[in-house]
Amino acid sequence: MQIESIHIKQNNRLMKDYLNNERQINDFVDYPTLDLQQRLQDLQEQTFDRQSLTNVLEKMNRHWQAPKQSLNNIERLKQANSVVVIGGQQAGLLTGPLYTVNKVISLIQYSRKQEETLGVPVIPVFWIAGEDHDFAEINHVNMLKGTRLEKQTISQFVPERTPVSDIEIDHKRAKAWINELFLSLPETVYTKKTYDELIDRLHSSKTYVDFFAKLIYWLFPTEGVVLINSGDEHLRNIESKYFLTMIERQEEISQAIYHTNTRLKRNGYATSVDIELDDTHLFYHLNNERILLKRELDGPWVGKQDEVKLTTDEVINIAKNNPEHLSNNVMTRPLMQEFLFPTLAFIGGQAEIGYWMLLREAFHLLNKNLPPLVPRLSFTYVNRKLDKILQAYQLTAEDVINDGVHQDKMNYLSALQEPALEPMFTQLNETLKYIHQPVRDVAYNLRKDVGQFADRNLYHLQTTLNDLKHRMERTIEENYEQTINDFDLLQCCLQPDNGLQERMWSILPFINEHGRSFIPTLVNEPCSFKEDHFVVYL
């Protein structure tokens, strides 16, 4: 395995300024220089219900047959000086897009480094957003078909707004879906073993959260990552008192988030979430549906589509007696994490860090600091075939990841022609305009409408030339089909949909080709969190 760091062109001004530690960002974070020693001291002044939390963690992780290293880390979390590095994601099928696996690698690497530096137990915790309810976001993977990605969706019907934690797997449909995925994969020495492992974990899983958790532990069997399902009913009992705090301070929290968002926009920064002043940032669960609650100043708590109407006393009563009927949204989830865990640092993607910056004032209202925000590691995986194609056309992975291959493909195909089509037709068009000019001059001297007809005549002649050029280009493409396939494969693998590989690809094709051993190998290759991106040559 070879790893190289590359520069990624940064279009997100908020992240660019944050990474460059620009002064104007300091108003939105508490640890702009990532002073983890100071953060550790601040955490020592807080108390956490470690016993209740670890009891719940142990129960849910034993349910997932967590490896002993993960169970040992749950035990270490009981120590008063222990802290966590936390991040999370939805429970995507087969772990979802590659960035989920990359995020777990980030948590493990960063926690190891900080434990060595700070001399206290630092535990990597992955927060599975089990209460999320958009099944359409997680019910598919993209698989390579020729030189294009094809979305393959599981056929199970799920009622709208049902939390993923409550969705039981239709095992017959899920197995059929996995079978279809493997039909699109080339047969390798790892195929049968990979298939058997997936089916074994599928059969032993009741929900999609279970399946997700067991696959994470299959991929990371010795690294000590600890998983938590935020949709777990037993966790809700611990969260009850924290929901009460959020309910009692709801108006202040909502106003703080709204006004911080306004200040960010005023400074020219864009965030990935829509914030309204009447957002409560809490969900109510009714009849297996998750309903976002809104609230005008001092008014009742109502469903976004008027599904329910609750008084503040009723919401408080729910938090006290039936906390499983409440859940956090993307804004209050960080607050809940901070109540539950001694968080040394949060690791997330650019969009996540952007919305965490909306929360500094909300954290302060609850007498807490916004934890240090660390951008996760970002990887693109390049196999030998792709590497050979890059070398054959004298391209670099960095250039393709940033700019794609369209222009390189056109330039390469044009260079194969003698003479090259583009300059030849450019010259022909210029010559045509030149020799046609006297005709247009005479036509306009005769009468204006005749001159306009002459203009249209030139346009039609140019159109005919362009049609000829496109016909010749198509013929070239037919003559150089393999070359075009090579470029298209690079595009699909390294800049799919004009974005990063980790946002579109699943881990499955890489495990099928290389086995899963490359993952712990990558975990043990320390990567700097100051770098934009890494290319991993497998």
What does each C-alpha distance from 112 to 2, 33, 121, 535 come to in angstroms? 21, 20, 9, 22
Instruction: Tell me whether residue 302 is in a domain.
Output: yes
Cα separation, 123 vs 74, whole angstroms? 8
Structure tokens at 422: 């583009």
The residue behind tokens 């005919």 is 464
Q: Would you say residue 304 has pLDDT above 80? A: yes
Average pLDDT over residues 391-419: 89
Rounded (5°) CA angle 466-468-474? 105
Q: Quickly count: other Cβ atoms within 10 Å of residue 24's Cβ.
A: 10
pTM over 0.85: yes
Q: What is the pLDDT of residues 210-235, one digit of tens each?
A: 999 999 999 999 999 999 999 999 99
Is 350 among the domain residues? no
Residue 478 included in any domain: yes
Confidence of residue 418 (pLDDT cuts 50, 70, 90): low
- Give which of 376, 496, 399 is closest to 103, Cα–Cα: 376
**Domain ends where: 208, 231, 254?**
231
Both 90 and 176 in a single domain?
Answer: yes
* 21 is a domain residue: no
Mean pLDDT of 247-263: 96
Contact (Cβ atoms closer than 8 angstroms) between residue 164 and residue 209 = yes
Same domain for 71 and 166: yes
User: Is 392 in the same domain as 424?
Assistant: yes
378-398 pLDDT, tens digit per residue, is 999 999 999 999 999 999 999
Tokens of 471: 């016909």
Q: Assess whether 76 and 217 both reside in one domain.
A: yes
- The pLDDT value recorded for residue 21 is 85
Whether residues 213 and 72 fall in one domain: yes
* 124 bridge partner residues: 85
Residue 119: left if φ>0, alpha if ψ -120 to 50, beta else—which one? left
Q: Does any domain span residue 38?
A: no
Mean pLDDT, residues 181-201: 97
Rounded average pLDDT over 273-289 = 92
Q: For residue 58, give every residue at least 6 positions away whose Cβ sits within 8 Å of its Cβ, in sequence order, or none.
A: 71, 74
From the CB of residue 3, how many other CB atoms can be counted at a distance below 10 Å?
Answer: 13
On whether both 194 and 214 belong to a single domain, the answer is: yes
- Per-residue confidence at 412, pLDDT binned at 50, 70, 90? confident
- Of 335, 346, 130, 125, nearest to 242 by C-alpha is 335
pLDDT band for position 485 (50/70/90)?
Answer: very high
Whether 95 and 222 map to the same domain: the answer is yes
Q: How many C-beta atoms lie closer than 10 Å to residue 165's C-beta?
A: 22
- Domain match, 67 and 185 both: yes
pLDDT of 421 reads 80
- The pLDDT confidence band at residue 37, using thresholds 50, 70 and 90, is very high
Task: Looking at the structure, tell me whether residues 395 and 281 fall in a common domain.
Answer: no
Q: Judge if 311 and 406 occupy the same domain.
A: no
| Boundaries of domain holding 67 | 51-231
> In this structure, are residues 281 and 249 in contact, taking their beta carbons and an 8 Å threshold?
no
* pLDDT classification of 30: cutoffs 50, 70, 90: very high
Contact 336, 239 (CB under 8 A): yes
CA 205 to chain centre: 24
Q: What's the pLDDT score for residue 270?
A: 84
Where a domain ends, among 231, 264, 289? Answer: 231
pLDDT tens-digit map of 82-100: 999 999 999 999 999 999 9
Look at residue 233 in the predicted model and tell me its pLDDT.
92
CB 450 within 8 A of CB 443: yes
Distance CA 242, CA 78 (A): 20
Average pLDDT over residues 267-283: 90
pLDDT tens, position by position, 493-537: 999 999 999 999 999 999 999 999 999 999 999 899 999 999 999
**pLDDT single digits (tens) 333-351:** 999 999 999 999 999 999 9
Structure tokens at 1: 């395995």
User: H or E segment at 408?
Assistant: helix 406-415
pLDDT-derived band at 371, boundaries 50, 70, 90:
very high
Asked whether 203 and 171 are in contact (CB, 8 A), the reply is yes
Establish if 36 belongs to a structural domain: no
Residue 479 pLDDT greater than 80, yes or no: no
Residue 156: inside a domain: yes
Q: Show which of 293, 328, 363 is a domain's final residue.
A: 328
- Is residue 290 included in any domain, yes or no? yes
Overall domain count for the chain: 3
Half-sphere exposure of 124 (CA within 13 A, CB side): 24
Average pLDDT along the chain: 94
- The candidate with the shortest Cα–Cα distance to 210, out of 227, 195, 234, is 227
Q: How confident is the model at residue 417 (pLDDT cuts 50, 70, 90)?
A: low
Over pLDDT 70: what percentage of the chain?
99
Same domain, 76 and 181: yes
212 and 71 together in one domain: yes
